[in-house]
Chains A and B, each alone.
Chain A
Amino acid sequence: MAAEPNGSCGDEDAAVRQVLGEERFRLVQGAKLLVVGAGGIGCELLKNLVLAGFRDIEVVDLDTIDISNLNRQFLFRRAHVDRSKAEVAAEAVRQFRPSARVVSHHGNVKDPQFGVEFVSRFDVVVNALDNLDARRHVNRLCLAAEKPLLEAGSTGHLGQVTVIKKGETECFECQAKPTQKVYPYCTIRSTPEKPIHCLVWAKNLYDLCFGPEDESNLLTDLAAEMKQFTSQEKVDGEEVGKKIYSHLFDADIRKQAALEDLWSEKRPPPDPLPFDEAVQRSSSSGAPPKGGAAVLDVQKVPSVAGDAQGFVAAVKAMYSDARRGLIGQSVFSKDDSVSMDFVHCAANLRMSNYRIDRLSRWDAQSIAGAIIPAVASTNAIVAGLEVVQLIHVLESTAHKKELRDGRCRTVWVRYPEPSRKKILQPSTLQPPNKECFVCGSRTARVALKGLSDWKMCDFVKKCVQGSFGAVSPALYHNGVCIYNPEYPEANEEAEEEGMHPEWSFTEWGLASGALLSVEDEAQGFSCNLLVRDEPELSDAEFPAGFNVEAGADSLEKAGEDKRQAEAAAEEPPAKRAATEGPVVALDD
């Protein structure tokens, strides 16, 4: 219950009390809330909650404040940079309403301390998260604890809010969410076609040259060569830069061009670009500015000479006294101007090699940094809608009504297209998907390429954790434990326990069609996995070597979804909104 339902200054709640009416106001004052995330939506949400009369709030966020947050996350100031978001946000909203109890937790919601038991202490959980992983985790915690969950997201002018409750509505995972695009290795390494391929290559190059050793780096085969050039003892950064340049944009390209199998009439071999030649190409090209507006430097595409010189200058900057110490530890960040310059110039030079239209610094930063569009006003709308939905949830719960029989809705915030007049589009909540592997039948299918050779630890890491979003899963087959999360690596202790994470499927006696069960105590989550061998799995489409089909009938369903998507194009906007996927890329 709230600390002081009728605090000293009753007047400040007069308006909200009038709008809500006594009954709802009492529900609001008595509710115990967990807010997950104190970023773009979180800041607005926390403000709205205390102003709406909520008195008992705990907030979890693992992040610290970054300069680029200050443009939206209005509870933070420059002086707060690097401090915990949860702590600063809680301090700030306590000032808005000193009578509110706002407790902050600076930590990852996936940590064991925030497990099912923790979640059970609250009446409702309100998400304000920016990533799929954490949202899936909180979804599972709330299903396990049988607590209602408010789920929200925003991207640019788009956003959505929905309500999830076990057995009553769709859960967050009832519909498949788009996953991050992974590019096939050979596209990155040998046959780039788009700027993004060159940017991914350049980011990997930066980390390879100046970051810690990382086996998963896509260019790891270049590591030995690069190490010769980039050791910390080198004195002359400019010389290092020119050497890397000649190796990558001239010599290596010549080698690639010589691999005749790769090239054809449709895909001609790349052109080497010797440094001396590059610095001659100083004419600046690029599209003329739109509408005659002034163009900023970061919007211009530099000349090839500018790219070549910029690349050498960026390497030189790495060897300045201020940065030299970072060599071997520095990883790419879009906000670190030296690493961004390096990546921009390197990617552009590679685009020159492959005759791809080069990018301005701004475009390179947007793509390489995966800058997700976000504005304060969309976050404010989304957070406001979350509070409205929250009040619906409290009312339904108080009247022991199922959420789908009450006033809760999924609400879409959509930037109006010319034919659309409504920014907010509500749609009714959907019943749970019976085939959902999280809240429904709990059986998912996984196609593995070369099933017999998969090691159990790799399968757990890449598929069960990476793709299914489990945190610390245990695997069973016919009731026998075949993977224990306490023993992720092969060692004596593991062996004493009969655990062999290094064993392959064959060594465990598993063949195509095996039914495994997954238990994740950290999430209160369990499901079945039907694994089968799929030797024909396309490398280009599934570079990780497996494909997850979430529901048992997903194959038939996929066809149906496609038909629906086609039909959707002519449906009115509100209906279309419902068939489109939710906004998954979110504001932090």
Chain B
Amino acid sequence: MAEGTIDTNLYSRQIGTFGMETMGKLIQMKVLISGLRGLGAEIAKNLILAGPAAVVLHDESLVEARDLGSNFYLVEADVGKRKRAEACAAQLAQLNPYVTVTVHSGPITDGLLAGMSVAVFTDTSQSDLLRFNEVCRSRTPAVGFVAADCFGVAGTAFVDFGDSFTCRDKDGEEPKSAIVAGVTQESPGTVHTHNERRHGFQDGDWVTFREVQGMTQLNDAKPRQIKVTGPFSFTIEDTTGYSAYLREGIVTQAKVPTQMKFASYRASTVQPRPEGGEDCEAAPPGRPAKVAEVVAARLSSSLLGDLGAQLAASADAEARAAACTSRRQKAEAVVGEVRAYLHVEGTGASHDCLQWAVGLCYGLLHTLAALEAAEGPPPQALAAQEYARLVSAVNSLKECAEKLRGAALLGDEPGPGRTARAGGSQPSGCLAGLAAALWRGQGR
């Protein structure tokens, strides 16, 4: 099939969902998917089925036995022998003959990213995410950046499409229309719609008028922004100078392109809540908003930041003991915060918060476990009592995590399911990325 044409037989149902215009853009996209454990494989499968021009797969790690449980294209024979991307590329390519599927070997370079429309990262270290995000943002137009991860039953997605992303259609819905019943001559002018059906418009929507009799100035096809004053009314501009409304007229939502500014990965790490952005979730009553995010931010600065330094300092027994003490104190502080947060459970804490908390708990547990394993029994310099306190803190955290895991898996709100939304990025997602980094501990 010639370039630029669409196989409408193959894609009929999908075009029915996305529309032909979006489909026309989709078939020109080039997408990098880095990280091909279970989540990467799912993303690659759904994306290749959708039909972009090209998908570049990247994962240089050797297949592990546990990958077989999630990346369905890996087989036992691949374990320890083949790299993940290589091992599943052929099967992924077979999903759609219109998509060029290739494997990128070696490190991800700026040049590779520059050639992509979107780059998707799963299972990628925090430092790499920060670096790749900067490269993606530095291009004009920006290369779309998506970072996603799963931890057990919790998951996250961070989206950054740069500082000036044009959104032509913010909701993909058919424009709503209403019948005009009256327009006042005042400032601002109030439009009344027929009271048989709600107009369904929202504050800030853009609308156009046609076939209005009397106040014909409205029929100029110019989109105007409205303020909703009721289910059958809204206000427009100053209409005092217009002729009087007589009868008829139809008002229709107009799709006006809007500029969206996404927060960078780094900015979201430092300041979880986007400047002037909406709250991601309602704060539990009596608690500060986004407890999980606050906890996560502390985690990142206090624990992750100096993890490497502490390990490196372990040559000198005294310094090591001091480092351990400081780390433990920080860890305990975090444990305390997480626990305090966990006790909100049942008071209406939103599920998102719970999920991040789960991710954080896992992260913390794995990190501490890894450190304990690396350093052996308690260093001599530590008082047995202190060590016992840490163990008890960790144990109660484990208990909470277990409980939370149950709540997340089997609780009121199954599964995460968040994507980018208008006007900002996903701060929580970013921080859950930190949790992921913690989970993987110092290994990378």
**Which residues of A does B touch, CB under 8 Å?**
9, 11-16, 18-21, 47, 51, 67-68, 70-72, 74, 77-78, 95-96, 156-157, 290-291, 293-294, 296, 298-299, 334-335, 362, 365-366, 369, 371-378, 380-381, 384-385, 388-389, 391-392, 395, 407, 409, 411, 413, 415-419, 421-424, 426, 569-570, 587
In Å, the complex CA distance between A417 and B172 comes to: 9
Contact at A15–B69, with CB atoms within 8 Å? Answer: yes
Q: For the complex, is B222 an interface residue (Cβ under 8 Å from A)?
A: no
- Tell which of A9, A19, A335, A421 touches B153, judged by Cβ atoms closer than 8 Å: A19
Contact at B414–A389, with CB atoms within 8 Å? Answer: yes
Q: How far is the CB of B317 from chain A (nearest CB, A)?
A: 35
Q: For the complex, is B9 an interface residue (Cβ under 8 Å from A)?
A: yes
Specify which chain A residues have a CB less than 8 angstroms from the CB of B412 in the assembled complex.
407, 409, 426
A426-B153 CB under 8 A given contacts A12-B68, A14-B65, A156-B17 = no
Q: For the complex, is B411 an interface residue (Cβ under 8 Å from A)?
A: yes
Q: For the complex, is B418 an interface residue (Cβ under 8 Å from A)?
A: yes
In Å, the complex CA distance between A334 and B421 comes to: 36
Contact-residue size bin, chain B (C-beta under 8 Å from the other chain): 35 or more
Q: Which residue of A lies closest to B151 (CB)?
A: A19
Known A96-B72, A376-B14, A376-B50; 6 more pairs at CB < 8 Å: A21-B405, A51-B38, A70-B10, A293-B21, A299-B20, A334-B12
- Tell which of A71, A296, A372 touches B10, judged by Cβ atoms closer than 8 Å: A71
Contact at A365–B415, with CB atoms within 8 Å? Answer: no
6 shortest interchain CB distances as A-B pairs: A11-B65, A373-B16, A373-B17, A12-B68, A374-B13, A424-B417
Interface pairs (30), CB distance under 8 Å: A9-B65, A12-B68, A14-B65, A15-B70, A19-B405, A19-B409, A47-B72, A51-B70, A68-B9, A70-B96, A71-B51, A96-B72, A156-B16, A298-B8, A334-B12, A373-B13, A374-B13, A374-B17, A375-B14, A375-B50, A381-B417, A388-B409, A395-B410, A415-B171, A415-B172, A423-B419, A426-B413, A426-B414, A569-B198, A569-B200
Contact at A74–B45, with CB atoms within 8 Å? Answer: yes
Contact at B20–A587, with CB atoms within 8 Å? Answer: no
Contact at A422–B417, with CB atoms within 8 Å? Answer: yes
In Å, the complex CA distance between A426 and B5 comes to: 40
Contact at A13–B414, with CB atoms within 8 Å? Answer: no
Q: How far is the CB of B197 from chain A (nearest CB, A)?
A: 10
Dominant SS among interface residues on chain B? loop
In Å, the complex CA distance between A385 and B38 comes to: 16
CB 8 Å contact bits of B185-226 with A (1 = contact, 0 = none): 000000000000010101000000000000000000000000
Q: How far is the CB of B144 from chain A (nearest CB, A)?
A: 16
Contact at B94–A72, with CB atoms within 8 Å? Answer: no
CB 8 Å contact bits of B22-44 with A (1 = contact, 0 = none): 00110000000000001000100
A417-B16 CB under 8 A given contacts A68-B10, A294-B24, A296-B6 = no
Contact at B202–A418, with CB atoms within 8 Å? Answer: yes
Specify which chain B residues have a CB less than 8 angstroms from the CB of A419 in the assembled complex.
202
Specify which chain B residues have a CB less than 8 angstroms from the CB of A296 in the assembled complex.
5-6, 20, 24
Q: Which residue of B lies closest to A337 (CB)?
A: B9
Specify which chain A residues have a CB less than 8 angstroms from the CB of B153 in the assembled complex.
19, 388
Q: How far is the CB of A301 from chain B (nearest CB, A)?
A: 13
Specify which chain B residues have a CB less than 8 angstroms from the CB of A392 in the assembled complex.
410
Q: How far is the CB of A529 from chain B (nearest CB, A)?
A: 36
A418-B170 CB under 8 A given contacts A77-B94, A375-B14 = yes
Contact at A68–B12, with CB atoms within 8 Å? Answer: yes
- Tell which of A47, A294, A299, A384 touches B415, judged by Cβ atoms closer than 8 Å: A384
Q: Which residue of B lies closest to A569 (CB)?
A: B198
Q: How far is the CB of A569 from chain B (nearest CB, A)?
A: 6
Contact at B16–A72, with CB atoms within 8 Å? Answer: no
CB 8 Å contact bits of B62-76 with A (1 = contact, 0 = none): 000110111010011
Q: How far is the CB of B426 from chain A (nearest CB, A)?
A: 11
A51-B21 CB under 8 A given contacts A296-B5, A376-B49 = no
- Contacting residues of chain B (350-371) with chain A, CB-CB under 8 angstroms: none
Q: Which residue of B lies closest to A78 (CB)?
A: B97
Q: How far is the CB of A55 from chain B (nearest CB, A)?
A: 14
Contact at A11–B66, with CB atoms within 8 Å? Answer: yes
In Å, the complex CA distance between A407 and B407 comes to: 9
Contact at B421–A371, with CB atoms within 8 Å? Answer: no
- Tell which of A16, A74, A388, A415 touches B95, judged by Cβ atoms closer than 8 Å: A74
Q: Which residue of B lies closest to A291 (CB)?
A: B168
Q: How far is the CB of A20 from chain B (nearest CB, A)?
A: 8
Q: For the complex, is B280 an interface residue (Cβ under 8 Å from A)?
A: yes
Specify which chain B residues have a CB less than 8 angstroms from the CB of A415 in the assembled complex.
171-172
Q: How far is the CB of B115 from chain A (nearest CB, A)?
A: 22
Q: For the complex, is B46 an interface residue (Cβ under 8 Å from A)?
A: yes
Q: Which residue of B lies closest to A570 (CB)?
A: B231
In Å, the complex CA distance between A362 and B416 comes to: 36
A12-B21 CB under 8 A given contacts A374-B16, A422-B417, A424-B415 = no
Contact at B417–A423, with CB atoms within 8 Å? Answer: yes
In Å, the complex CA distance between A144 and B409 comes to: 30
Q: Which residue of A lies closest to B13 (CB)?
A: A374
Contact at A421–B421, with CB atoms within 8 Å? Answer: yes
Contact at B21–A291, with CB atoms within 8 Å? Answer: yes
Specify which chain A residues have a CB less than 8 angstroms from the CB of B6 in the assembled complex.
296
In Å, the complex CA distance between A164 and B217 comes to: 57
Contact at B20–A362, with CB atoms within 8 Å? Answer: yes
Contact at A376–B198, with CB atoms within 8 Å? Answer: no
Q: Which residue of A lies closest to B8 (CB)?
A: A298
A293-B46 CB under 8 A given contacts A15-B66, A418-B202 = no
Contact at B12–A369, with CB atoms within 8 Å? Answer: yes
Q: How far is the CB of A413 from chain B (nearest CB, A)?
A: 7
In Å, the complex CA distance between A362 and B11 comes to: 12
Specify which chain A residues have a CB less than 8 angstroms from the CB of B281 in the assembled complex.
421
Contact at A157–B10, with CB atoms within 8 Å? Answer: no
Contact at B66–A407, with CB atoms within 8 Å? Answer: no
Contact at A371–B13, with CB atoms within 8 Å? Answer: yes
The interface centre, meaning the residue of A16, A20, A375, A421 with most chain B CB atoms within 10 A of its CB, is A375
Specify which chain B residues have a CB less than 8 angstroms from the CB of A12 in the assembled complex.
65-66, 68-69, 76
Q: For the complex, is B173 an interface residue (Cβ under 8 Å from A)?
A: yes
In Å, the complex CA distance between A375 and B18 comes to: 9
In Å, the complex CA distance between A380 and B415 comes to: 13
Q: For the complex, is B336 an interface residue (Cβ under 8 Å from A)?
A: no
Contact at A362–B8, with CB atoms within 8 Å? Answer: yes
In Å, the complex CA distance between A388 and B200 comes to: 35
Q: How far is the CB of A98 from chain B (nearest CB, A)?
A: 9
Q: For the complex, is B422 an interface residue (Cβ under 8 Å from A)?
A: yes
Q: For the complex, is B378 an interface residue (Cβ under 8 Å from A)?
A: no
Q: For the complex, is B379 an interface residue (Cβ under 8 Å from A)?
A: no
Contact at A376–B45, with CB atoms within 8 Å? Answer: yes
- Tell which of A13, A21, A72, A77 touches B49, judged by Cβ atoms closer than 8 Å: A72
Contact at A74–B13, with CB atoms within 8 Å? Answer: no
Q: How far is the CB of A75 from chain B (nearest CB, A)?
A: 10
Q: How far is the CB of B419 from chain A (nearest CB, A)?
A: 7
Q: For the complex, is B141 an interface residue (Cβ under 8 Å from A)?
A: no
CB 8 Å contact bits of B273-309 with A (1 = contact, 0 = none): 0000010110000000000000000000000000000
The interface centre, meaning the residue of A18, A371, A587 with most chain B CB atoms within 10 A of its CB, is A371
CB 8 Å contact bits of B392-436 with A (1 = contact, 0 = none): 000000000000010001111111111101100000000000000
Specify which chain B residues have a CB less than 8 angstroms from the CB of A96 in the assembled complex.
72
Specify which chain A residues have a CB less than 8 angstroms from the CB of B13 in the assembled complex.
68, 71-72, 371-375, 587
In Å, the complex CA distance between A417 and B95 comes to: 31
In Å, the complex CA distance between A419 and B200 comes to: 12
Specify which chain A residues have a CB less than 8 angstroms from the CB of B95 in the assembled complex.
74
The interface centre, meaning the residue of A13, A335, A407 with most chain B CB atoms within 10 A of its CB, is A407
Contact at B414–A388, with CB atoms within 8 Å? Answer: yes
In Å, the complex CA distance between A51 and B65 comes to: 13
In Å, the complex CA distance between A74 and B20 comes to: 22
Specify which chain A residues have a CB less than 8 angstroms from the CB of B255 in the assembled complex.
290
In Å, the complex CA distance between A46 and B65 comes to: 21
Q: Which residue of A lies closest to B402 (CB)?
A: A21
Specify which chain A residues have a CB less than 8 angstroms from the CB of B45 in the assembled complex.
74, 376
Q: How far is the CB of A480 from chain B (nearest CB, A)?
A: 49
Specify which chain B residues have a CB less than 8 angstroms from the CB of A293 in the assembled complex.
21, 24-25
